[in-house]
Amino acid sequence: MKRFILYLLSAVTAASAASLSGNAQSIRPASGRPVLYASVGEQLTRYEINVADATLTRQETVTLPDPVQYVWPHPSKKYLYVAWSKDMSGAHAGVSAFTIDPSSGRLSPHGDPIALAHRPVHLTVDPSATHVLVAYNNPSGVSVHLLKPDGTLGSEVRQAASPDGGIYAHQIRVDPSGQMAILVTRGNGPTSTKADGRMPMLLRPALVGN
């Protein structure tokens, strides 16, 4: 297994917190026809996109164990990874993998889901498709999980030391080199005791895996 370094960049963002009722992700299967995946609660629905008249046609729906938090495709576009959580507490949370039918974009369960310790707010796959990285807002941080060659989810890569996740992690992305990841944190707004809120800018290196 290769060794690479994770850099956690906690950056100030201008966006304020928003409560969203669903999430959406679009991809283009091997057929060349783009499809849209949109969620409401535990339901993740596929829509066919008609580019000519900019319309959506609803197709089948898959049901996750709990409300969908975020979805991300495998670099090959053969698989889709869906993060879910029971509620804000993350009492029951995880990631499920699906295969993507190359002609239609239809989703089918692929392997066993993995359990997460907290509510996920974002996830991504590294360019080599060997790891899934998951971001959490409470407590703010990130976890790294192995991806098997067949696209199924593997075990968590335990860290020698807990990475500094800043305040309210919001998104995790991996640099094209595969040697660096960026964790964006939005911070918190002003309070009665902290007029400027808690929105730090910091950079911390941490070992991801080997």
Tell me, rounded to whole angstroms, the distance of Cα 136 from its chain centroid. 10
Tokens, residue 55: 């319309």
Nearest to 199 by CA among 23, 19, 17, 27: 17
Strand order in the sheet with 131-137: 120-125, 131-137, 140-147, 153-156
Q: Give the chain's largest Cα–Cα span.
A: 56
**pLDDT of the residue at 185:** 85
**pLDDT of the residue at 10:** 34
Half-sphere exposure of 85 (CA within 13 A, CB side): 22
Find out whether 183 and 5 touch, Cβ atoms under 8 Å: no
Q: What is the pLDDT along the chain (210 residues), one digit of tens a residue?
A: 333 333 343 333 323 233 334 666 666 665 667 899 999 999 999 999 998 998 999 999 999 999 999 999 999 999 999 999 998 777 899 999 999 999 999 999 999 999 999 999 999 999 999 999 999 998 899 999 999 999 999 999 998 888 788 888 889 999 898 888 888 888 777 777 665 555 443 333 343 444
Question: Please, which residues have CB within 8 angstroms of residue 193's CB and are 6 or more apart in sequence?
Answer: none
Domain of residue 65, CATH code: 2.130.10.10
**pLDDT of the residue at 156:** 95
Task: Please give the residue range of the domain that contains residue 116.
Answer: 4-15+24-209
Residues 180 and 183: their CA atoms lie apart, in Å, by: 10
Kindly report the pTM of this predicted structure: 0.79
Nearest to 79 by CA among 117, 37, 134: 37
**pLDDT of the residue at 87:** 80
Find out whether 154 and 113 touch, Cβ atoms under 8 Å: no
Domains held by the chain: number: 1
Find out whether 147 and 129 touch, Cβ atoms under 8 Å: yes
**pLDDT of the residue at 23:** 65
